[in-house]
Amino acid sequence: MSGTVDCSTHPPRPMSSDSSTGAPGGTQPPAPKKDLSQPMASAYEAAAVEADWYAWWVGQGFFEPKEAAEPKGTFVLTAPPPNVTGKLHIGHGLFISIQDAMVRWNRMRGVTTLFVPGTDHAGISCQTVVEKQIWKEAQKTRHDYGREAFVDLVWDWKRKYGHLITNQVKRMGASFDWSHERFTLDDVMSRATREAFIRLFDDNIIYRSNRLVSWCHELRSSLSNLEVDSLELPGRTMMAVPGYPPNEKFEFGVLVHFAYEIDGTGERIVVATTRIETMLGDTAIAVHPEDPRYKHLHGKFARHPFVDRLIPIVTDAVAVDMEFGTGAVKMTPAHDPNDYEVGKRHGLQFINLLNDDGTFNENAGPYCGMLRFHVRRQIVEDLKAKGLYVDTTNNPMTVPICNKTKDIIEPIMKPQWWIRGEPLAGPAMEAARDGRLEITPSLSERDWFRWLENIQDWCVSRQIWWGHRIPAYLVRVAGQTCDPSDKNNWVVGHSEADARSRAEAKFPGATFELEQDPDVLDTWFSSGLWPFAVLGWPEKTADMKRFYPTSLLETGWDILFFWVARMVMLGMYLTGEVPFSKVYCHSLVRDAQGRKMSKSLGNVIDPIDVIEGISLEGLHGKLLDGNLDPREIAKAKKGQAMDFPNGVPECGTDALRFALCAFTSAGRDVSMDIQRVHGYRKFCNKLWNATRFALAKLGDDFVPATSTAPTGEESLADRWILHRLNCTARDTNAALATMNFMAATTAIYSFWLYDLCDVFIEYIKPITTPEADAGARNSALQTLYTCFDQALKMLHPFMPFVTEELWQRLPRRANETCPSICIAAYPEPRSDYDDSRAEADFELVTKIAGAGRSLAAAYKVLSKSTFYVTNTSDASYAFTASQVDGIATMISGCQSITALKPGEAAPAGCAASAVTDEAAVHLLVRGNPGIDQEIGKIEKKIARIAKLVEGLEKTAQGPSYDRIPVAVREANAAKATSYASEMEVLRGSIETLLVLKGDQ
């Protein structure tokens, strides 16, 4: 039934660890094994079961990769590093559950596994949290502290709160090798990040350019697209903006139409914009070359009303739709992505209007120094004063919002570092085409090609202080003009000394000063190196040789491009290999109402709250720990009250993990139903009680057989349950091999609940009594032990704690040397358990029992019931006669069941149900008091219907009957007919019951 795992490679490890967490590197001895000498509790308690195991697992080194006696390959998974900005949410719980299930399954199969943990420094997110904290506590900004002191504050915050995530991960049971733990700002990752930047710089993959970026004025930094949300506006909307008084609102969702005067003529040309303040940076007006309205203006100029500038009229068939609006489009190349492309095509001026803090600069003429949205309001008034204002119309639109600060994002020209996308994207697409990289589900694979085929260059500069300082140095040569936007004026290096050496070689004999770029790298850059940097790249470490490329990358589809594609592109370029062979994109976790998890909605769930349970008041209290606006807190409280009116019940880790895996289906979002999670806690209780029953039946003197092979003495029930166990092993392994977690959990859940507990355990009760035949009893107990031993191992990847606790309480086979279920051999299908004949025969047994239960329920004979099974052939009789004891245990309240030979009839007064062409089940109902009760119920129902009929008859005979609408009369007549038919059927039922009772 099992694969082979050499447990001798996992001896107790003589190392120090923190016994409270199981983390290596502490000063205390390894945590001792949990004491199970006391009798099992009468009921399952998740907190008690889940205590102590994790520290023991880590302390014994079970999660560290070991060389197996018979190597079966490697399985390496570098877990996506969560942001070190607070606590994990249920979405993280999903990927931990999925990933750890795969790791534990492979480890039990004898595969050498490495599961790498870590956290991401989360540059913008982490800095924002600390900035909000110091403002809240001291009304200070980072600029009040200075760069070095502020970064020290962030490190202090990381050291204080970073352990929260680690503790959550351990509570979730993730079997990480903590000796490989990494942080994206630690020395190993920092060395790799600098090396990657330097190589890409030297190869001209990284370049310097003054281009448009998405700028947040509150952060004073450029952002990636992932940090920008799209706010849909239905039309005119008044909005508050960060950095302005809360009661001051500005108009969005409108088009402002205004006119430019054509220079030297009295003619005007009307344009429209959603951002009227940007007209100060207009450097052209574009029209379609074929538009007859404007052909006479080709090559002419419009005069700007507020700054001394002539604006050319240019023709562009790509940018202008002459059927839309006025057919004339203002161009602001330095503040709009579409206009930027037009500006490049036509060689237009790129005029930046904005300072980093959101005020307008000297290019804005009379508006210099004003805040951008004050300019928006003022410029409309000034256009009106000049007679150039035309109209303001409603305009549904999308506004880009910073998801950290809620600031309105502005496209701004900035000299930044960029990575060329095209040379990196081609190999990444080819790897997916030729099979070196498998992407699941297929929808994600389609997204992969769609994104990479249209890849844009990647801005990796961020104007914040927390992160990897860009290892680039501006060389200011004495006596020469230095353009910071020119890459030729820059050198790179791991240190200033390294950079100086490069500068000396680049500018021989020159006197120069070095100035390191103050910016940091986009967090996704260092995260993009994760699968190989954590193993020691760029050094040729033993880990790189042994564990790279890795096996699997499991993550959410929403960061397929932001993270996964960049890991593949950078990995292939820097190491020459695809960093992992498979990408599995799990779905997003939504709440029970299908909404995306959001702190402002109050539906974000902490996995620990599901594990331990929490009241509604406790959930409300947690909202106060964050940085939510008071209005968002009120909104979130309403959301919590809707989703969790009674709080969250205690479910335990095992139930949560199993539920998340059971919810998971490739390509579908996961709806988080807490009540279903709690249902799996009841399943844990079922496992607990079933194991208590099994241990009681086995007794203290039970000795499991050394061999798991069948002896040939097994009963039909034994053969059947071993066959079902075999089918479950086959189905579960096949499902896990294809990462079909819904199928895997369904297979093992069904075996435990329906095959083992509901059928086999009930069936063998009479066989396992002290009075039963010794041979049959021993066979049943050996089979029972095999099922529990193997089924707990099959369940372990999903429910690690309860399976370890229960497995440790079972006796051991003489050849079972593994100290823990987590390194025991995972059950695999085997031919000697495969018995389709036993499955077919036992199906007949369950059908006979099912027919008996149905008869007993129908005739209310729920205790001391007597059954007969009639047979039309000797073979059928022989079979049913051999199984009557087991069948009787499967029918609650059964007093006796008798198999009748061919030709023998069941006694009079029996109700019957055919099972097959050769067998029928009969229930003796004559003389049973339940018959009288059933007759009484039917008579009452007949009486109620008779009253209804009487009412219809009175209506039909009344003096006002003719005034009743025809449709109503017809409906009443139909009702009367239906009632009469129903009473006839009910009277027939009474006659049948009287016959069975023996009164007729």
> For the residues of 594-627, what is the DSSP string, one character each?
SPBP-GGGT----HHHHHH-B-HHHHHHHHTTS-
Q: Note the pLDDT of residue 26.
A: 44
Q: pLDDT, tens digit, for every residue of 227-237? A: 899 999 999 99
Q: Which two tokens stand for residue 844?
A: 């007949």
254-262 and 301-303 beta bridge pairing:
antiparallel
User: Average pLDDT of 529-539?
Assistant: 97
If you average pLDDT over each of 92-96, 440-444, 511-515, 957-961, which comes out highest?
Answer: 511-515
Maximum C-alpha span of the chain: 124
Beta strands across the sheet bearing 74-78: 112-116, 74-78, 550-556, 580-586, 438-440
Q: Which two tokens stand for residue 479?
A: 């006596």
182-183 and 118-119 beta bridge pairing:
parallel
Least confident segment among 301-315, 456-470, 818-832, 905-919: 905-919
Q: Grade residue 16 by pLDDT with cuts at 50, 70 and 90.
A: very low
729, 721 in Cβ contact below 8 A? no
Q: Note the pLDDT of residue 1.
A: 59
Q: pLDDT, tens digit, for every residue of 862-882? A: 888 999 999 999 999 999 999
Residue 449 pLDDT > 90: yes
Q: pLDDT, tens digit, for every residue of 535-592? A: 999 999 999 999 999 999 998 888 888 899 999 999 999 999 999 999 998 877 877 7
Q: Grade residue 424 by pLDDT with cuts at 50, 70 and 90.
A: very high
Q: Note the pLDDT of residue 305.
A: 96
CA distance 818 to 146: 56
Q: Grade residue 411 by pLDDT with cuts at 50, 70 and 90.
A: very high
The 8 Å CB, 24+ separation contacts for 371-375 are 371/243, 371/244, 372/217, 372/277, 372/410, 373/241, 373/244, 373/250, 373/277, 373/408, 375/277, 375/280
CA distance 412 to 360: 12
Residue 635 pLDDT > 90: no
Q: Note the pLDDT of residue 68.
A: 62
Residue 521 pLDDT > 80: yes
Residue 18 pLDDT > 60: no
Q: Which two tokens stand for residue 590?
A: 């939504």
CA distance 303 to 280: 12
CA distance 492 to 469: 12
Q: Which of 862, 866, 868 is nearest to 848 (CA)?
A: 868
CA distance 225 to 411: 12
Q: Grade residue 10 by pLDDT with cuts at 50, 70 and 90.
A: very low
Burial class (CB in 10 A: 0-12, 13-18, 19+), 409: buried
Share of the chain above pLDDT 70, in %: 94
Q: Note the pLDDT of residue 611.
A: 96
Q: Note the pLDDT of residue 14.
A: 37
Torsion of CA 586, 590, 591, 594, to 10 degrees: -130
User: Average pLDDT of 806-824?
Assistant: 95
283, 351 in Cβ contact below 8 A? yes
The DSSP letter of residue 8 is G
> Facing residues of 556 across strands?
586
pTM, rounded to two decimals: 0.86
Q: Note the pLDDT of residue 599.
A: 63
- 639 Rama sector, left if φ>0, alpha if ψ -120 to 50, beta otherwise: alpha
Q: Note the pLDDT of residue 479.
A: 87
Greater pLDDT, 541 or 925: 541
Q: How far is CA 158 from CA 84, 126, 207, 931, in A?
A: 7, 9, 32, 74
505, 492 in Cβ contact below 8 A? no
CA distance 897 to 882: 12
Q: Which of 352, 345, 256, 271 is nearest to 304 (CA)?
A: 271
User: Average pLDDT of 177-187?
Assistant: 96
Burial class (CB in 10 A: 0-12, 13-18, 19+), 237: middle
Q: How far is CA 102 from CA 91, 627, 751, in A?
A: 17, 36, 20
| CA angle (258 as vertex; 253, 259 as ends), nearest 5 | 160
Side-chain-side CA neighbours of 245 within 13 Å: the count stands at 3
801, 50 in Cβ contact below 8 A? yes
Q: Grade residue 24 by pLDDT with cuts at 50, 70 and 90.
A: very low
Q: How far is CA 197 from CA 54, 206, 533, 782, in A?
A: 39, 8, 13, 63
User: Average pLDDT of 946-967?
Assistant: 85
Q: Grade residue 224 by pLDDT with cuts at 50, 70 and 90.
A: confident
> Quick count: other Cβ atoms within 10 Å of Cβ 885?
14
User: Average pLDDT of 75-101?
Assistant: 90
655, 677 in Cβ contact below 8 A? yes
661, 798 in Cβ contact below 8 A? yes
CA distance 640 to 323: 49
Least confident segment among 247-251, 754-758, 875-879, 933-937: 933-937
CA distance 58 to 63: 6
Q: Note the pLDDT of residue 740.
A: 93
Q: Note the pLDDT of residue 770.
A: 87
129, 189 in Cβ contact below 8 A? no
CA distance 524 to 528: 6
Considering the chain, what is the average pLDDT of its residues? Answer: 90
Q: Note the pLDDT of residue 69.
A: 57
Q: Grade residue 138 by pLDDT with cuts at 50, 70 and 90.
A: very high
472, 417 in Cβ contact below 8 A? yes
The span from the first CA to the last CA of the chain, in angstroms, equals: 59
Q: Which of 780, 725, 715 is nearest to 751 (CA)?
A: 725
CA distance 530 to 189: 8
Q: Note the pLDDT of residue 532.
A: 98
418, 206 in Cβ contact below 8 A? yes
458-459 and 410-419 beta bridge pairing:
antiparallel
Q: pLDDT, tens digit, for every residue of 349-397? A: 999 999 999 999 999 999 999 999 999 999 999 999 999 999 999 999 9
Residue 629 pLDDT > 80: no
Q: Note the pLDDT of residue 692.
A: 96
Q: Grade residue 626 by pLDDT with cuts at 50, 70 and 90.
A: low
User: Average pLDDT of 211-217?
Assistant: 94
Residue 627 pLDDT > 70: no
330, 258 in Cβ contact below 8 A? no
